[in-house]
Chains A and B, each alone.
Chain A
Amino acid sequence: MAILELENITKSFGQLKVADGISLVVPKGQALGIIGPNGAGKSTLFNLITGNLLPDAGTVKFEGRDVTRMPAMQRCFAGIGRSFQIPQPFDNLSVFENLLVAAMHGRNMDQRAVQDDCAMILEQTELLAVANRPAGGLSLLQRKRLEMARALATDPKLLLLDEIAGGLTDAECVALIDTIRAVHVRGVTIIWIEHVLHALNSVVERLLVLDFGKVIGVGQPDEIMKRQDVREIYLGIEV
């Protein structure tokens, strides 16, 4: 069963087409990777899925329901969680409170009903030791982890990760991949935008290439990466 269906999604900023007739079906439980050069429209695509942006044309369906015009907050209730490319923590709240606010509002529950779950997500994302620190003072790895932890706190069915491995050292990256894998194993559908290919390919089952707002190819990661046009566009390799 498809959890997410995009049909002919189009979005322009002035003359610039950032999404140009994108169609995509994501089955429930899949881990899909998205690659493409800078400015290809990857983060825009996320904003269109989460409702932070509305498309000019086309439809977005989540679990079979048309959510094209639904505001971001409602889509969070429906089960779409996201991390931002540039971490956007609530700086003056503690790490634990960042998760609490997401869990209490995203699931519409009381603090008592979610606080243990938030503590467990902190364990899982290795943030427990800094639980009571203000989120504004975290290191880059911790901020990236917090992005994911906060999205998980809303108990999403679909998790969108935007360049969560970017800027991390190899060791940090490996630790983060383990966490993402554990989330995926739990049955959460994942769409992951990433430039760090080895990280991406160690988790995803399917890969989509985006360029100038268009889908260039989608399929098995190995096969996609072998394609000549993908290598030219994405890796800039002369042939």
Chain B
Amino acid sequence: MAGMTRSSPYEVTTRTRASRITAVAAVALLALLVVLPLFAGRGLIQDMFFILTMLVLAQFWNLLAGYGGLVSIGQQAFVGMGAYAMFGGVILAGMDPIPAILLGGIAALIVAIPTAFFAFRLQGPYFAIGTWVIAEVMRLVMAQAKALGGGTGTSLPRTATREMWATEWIAGALDVRNSAARDILTYWLALALAAATIAAIYALLRSKRGLALSAVRDNPEAAKSVGVDAGRMKWFVFLTSAFGTGLAGALIYVQKARISPDAAFSVTDWTAYVLFIVIIGGIGTIEGPIIGVIVFFLLQSLLADYGSWYLFTLGIIGIVVMLVAPRGIWGLITERTGIQLFPVRRRLSGGSLKED
């Protein structure tokens, strides 16, 4: 039974050769991305900011839907509340925009509690619609906030953006203008947020709680009968995703510096695109959203001038991928090659184990 001290003939491993290479490559890539503003133009930095923030939103939606089985189409609620809380901190409380980002995460976390309380009473498609309705309610409520511009929205005060933390230092050190320094600062924050998000989700999936999360997704009733607290897992995943999504929302609007309820609570921008990224990349994997966001960015760059044809094309691609490769592009790659960059499966070896 448990607690034996004899040496075991068995061994459990999670790492693979590919994952060791990934770890080295990830550190190298991260280092490269950190120094990118030294030689990249402002346009590339802005594109990278967009990619990184969409990646964060996609990772959190994937945690929610792909691992937690909670298919929400109301994540714009947390982007919007995060962004508005940051604006509130700056305009009403006179905070610096950078620390106000944290306020965005906390605000999203707080509104997520009553949201979960109502939405968890609903299952499957009803849960999805329910989250959307709650997000719409939040949009309408924020449109009443006269101090934050009401329905037409408002901008961050010029003094707040000009004197933002560290921008003067960056402008001096890299010899760029104040506005470019602001883009570099928000880019670095987006990079830090994306790296921390991926690292935290990976650590979660490899933990005891992560294993329980997969069990709940596969079969909640059976999970309960083996001692997993399925209800608590749902709360944990929902609140964590809300917090991360709120941080990303606040950061996105520090960079935009202008907010309106329709933009901040846009279901297309903050949920439909995010769904597209996760689904074409591969739901339920960490690699999927990374691939998805790159594909999404390329499509957007190619088709952005075609207006509604762009959305039409995205829709068609989404449908085709769901029919042909329901596990997404990364799913196709792992099926063919068996490669896992972020392995979470625990492999048993040794003893009398001989694989068939």
Which residues on B sit within 8 Å (CB–CB) of A72? 224-225
* A52-B12 contact in complex given A94-B346, A117-B1, A155-B1, C-beta closer than 8 Å: no
**Which chain A residues lie closer than 8 Å to B8 at the CB level?**
115-116, 119
Whether A101 touches B346, Cβ cut-off 8 Å, given contacts A88-B222, A117-B1, is no
Q: Say yes or no: is B2 at the interface (Cβ < 8 Å to chain A).
A: yes
Chain A 88-117 near chain B by CB (<8 Å), digits 1 or 0: 111111101110111011111111011111
Size class of the contact patch on chain A: 35 or more
Contact call A104/B208, Cβ cutoff below 8 A: yes
A197 within 8 A of B: no
Interface contact A114-B356, CB-CB below 8 Å: no
Query: Within the complex, what minimum Cβ distance (angstroms) separates B168 from chain A?
Result: 49
Residues in chain B near residue A76, CB distance under 8 A: 224-227
B214 touches A92 (CB 8 A): yes
Instruction: Check A131–B348 contact: CB distance below 8 A.
Output: yes
Distance to closest chain A CB from B328 (angstroms) = 15
Task: Provide the bound-state CA to CA distance between A128 and B3, in Å.
Answer: 21
Query: What is the count of residue pairs linking A and B with beta-carbon distances less than 8 angstroms?
Result: 133
A132 vs B347: C-alpha distance when bound (angstroms): 6
Inter-subunit contact B227/A129 (CB<8 Å): no
Q: Is the interface of A mostly helix, strand, loop or mixed?
A: helix
Quick check: B356 and A102 within 8 Å, CB to CB?
no
A50–B3 CA distance with the chains assembled, in angstroms: 27
Indicate whether B269 reaches chain A with its CB closer than 8 angstroms.
no
Most chain B beta carbons < 10 A, residue from A94, A105, A106, A155: A105
B211 within 8 A of A: yes
Chain B proximity of A171: nearest CB distance (Å): 18
Q: Is A153 an interface residue (CB 8 A)?
A: yes
B346 in contact with A100 (CB, 8 Å): yes
Q: Chain A residues with Cβ under 8 A from B2's Cβ?
A: 107, 109, 113-114, 117, 155
List, in ascending order, chain A residues with CB within 8 A of B355's CB. Answer: 129, 131-132
Residues of A within 8 A of B222 (CB): 84, 88-90, 150
Restricting to B211-236, which residues have a CB under 8 Å from any CB of A? 211-212, 214-215, 217-219, 221-230
Q: Which residue of B lies closest to A87 (CB)?
A: B222
User: Known contacts A91-B218, A122-B348; can you find 17 more A-B pairs with CB under 8 A?
Assistant: A73-B225, A73-B227, A81-B225, A84-B222, A92-B284, A93-B214, A93-B345, A101-B214, A101-B228, A110-B208, A115-B8, A117-B2, A129-B355, A129-B356, A130-B356, A150-B222, A153-B226
Residues of B within 8 A of A (CB): 1-4, 8, 10, 12, 208, 211-212, 214-215, 217-219, 221-230, 284, 345-348, 351-356
